[in-house]
Amino acid sequence: MRYQLYYWPSIPGRGELIRLALEEAGADYEDVGRLPASQGGGAAAIRRALSGELGGLRPLAPPVLRAGELVLSQTAAILHWLGPRLQLAPDDERGRIEAHALQLTVADFWAEIHDTHHPVASGLYYDDQKAEAQRCAGHFVRERLPKFLGYFEDVLAARGTGFAAGERFSYVDLSLFQTVAGLDYAFPRAMTGMAARIPRLRALHDEVTARPRVAAYLGSPRRLPFNQDGIFRHYPELDGEGR
Amino acid sequence: MRYQLYYWPSIPGRGELIRLALEEAGADYEDVGRLPASQGGGAAAIRRALSGELGGLRPLAPPVLRAGELVLSQTAAILHWLGPRLQLAPDDERGRIEAHALQLTVADFWAEIHDTHHPVASGLYYDDQKAEAQRCAGHFVRERLPKFLGYFEDVLAARGTGFAAGERFSYVDLSLFQTVAGLDYAFPRAMTGMAARIPRLRALHDEVTARPRVAAYLGSPRRLPFNQDGIFRHYPELDGEGR
Per-residue pLDDT of chain B (243 residues; tens, 9 = 90+): 999 999 999 999 999 999 999 999 999 999 999 999 999 999 999 999 999 999 999 999 999 999 999 999 999 999 999 999 999 999 999 999 999 999 999 999 999 999 999 999 999 999 999 999 999 999 999 999 999 999 999 999 999 999 999 899 999 999 999 999 999 999 999 999 999 999 999 999 999 999 999 999 999 999 999 999 999 999 999 998 654
Which chain B residues touch A74 with a CB distance below 8 Å? 100-101, 104-105
Instruction: Give the count of beta carbons closer than 10 Å to the beta carbon of residue A44.
Output: 11
A102 touches chain B (CB under 8 A): yes
B97 touches chain A (CB under 8 A): yes
What local confidence, expressed as pLDDT, does residue B240 receive? 84
Task: Using alpha carbons, select from B57, B53, B54 the residue that is nearest to residue B3.
Answer: B54
Which chain B residues touch A121 with a CB distance below 8 Å? 135-136, 139-140, 143-144
In this predicted model, what pLDDT tens digit does every residue of A169-199 receive, in sequence order?
999 999 999 999 999 999 999 999 999 999 9
Fold of A93-238: Glutathione S-transferase Yfyf (Class Pi); Chain A, domain 2 (1.20.1050)
ipTM: 0.97
Q: Whole-number mean pLDDT of chain B?
A: 97
Q: What is the dihedral of CA A7, A120, B59, A172, to 10 degrees?
A: 20
Task: Using alpha carbons, select from A159, A154, A114, A135 the residue that is nearest to residue A238.
Answer: A135
A66 touches chain B (CB under 8 A): no
What local confidence, expressed as pLDDT, does residue A129 receive? 96
pTM: 0.98
Where in the sequence of chain B do the CATH 1.20.1050.10 domains occur? 93-210+228-238
Give, in words, the CATH class of A2-85: alpha beta
B76 touches chain A (CB under 8 A): yes
Instruction: Give the count of beta carbons closer than 10 Å to the beta carbon of residue B211.
Output: 17
* Cα separations in angstroms, A125 against A120, A168, B109: 10, 42, 21
What local confidence, expressed as pLDDT, does residue B242 receive? 53
A177 touches chain B (CB under 8 A): no
CATH of segment(s) B93-210+228-238: 1.20.1050.10
Which chain B residues touch A143 with a CB distance below 8 Å? 121, 123
Where in the sequence of chain A do the CATH 3.40.30.10 domains occur? 2-85
Give A43→chain B minimum CA distance, Å: 20
Beta A2-6 vs A28-31: how paired, if at all?
A: parallel
A101 touches chain B (CB under 8 A): yes
Task: Using alpha carbons, select from A86, A89, A44 the residue that is nearest to residue A67.
Answer: A86
Mutation to test the B interface, candidates A51, A60, A116, most B Cβ within 10 Å:
A60
User: What letter would DSSP give residue A197?
Assistant: G
Q: How far apart are CA A170 and CA A175, in angstroms?
A: 9
Q: Do B139 and A119 touch (CB under 8 A)?
A: no
Q: Across the beta sheet with B2-6, what order do the strands follow?
A: B28-31, B2-6, B64-67, B70-73
